[in-house]
Structure 1
Amino acid sequence: MATVIALLAACLPFITLSYIIICLAWPWSRCTRCRPGGKNRTCRACNGTGKRPRLGWQIYVYARRLHRDGNH
Structure 2
Amino acid sequence: MTTILLLASLTTLGYSLCYLAVCAASPWGRCRHCRGARYHRTTIGTRRDCPRCDGTGIQVRLGRRLIDHIRTEYRDGHR
TM range (shorter): 0.7 to 0.9
Q: Letter of the aligned partner of 1:63 in structure 2?
A: I
AA aligned opposite 1:42 = D
In the other structure, the counterpart of 2:8 is 8
What is aligned with 2:32?
A: 32
Greater helix fraction, Structure 1 or Structure 2: 1
Amino acid at match of 2:9: A
Return the TM-score normalized by structure 1: 0.77
More strand, by proportion: 2
Report the Cα offset of residue 21 of structure 1.
Answer: 0.6
Aligned residues: percent identity? 37
Aligned to 2:53: 46
Q: How many residues align?
A: 70
TM-score by length of 2: 0.71
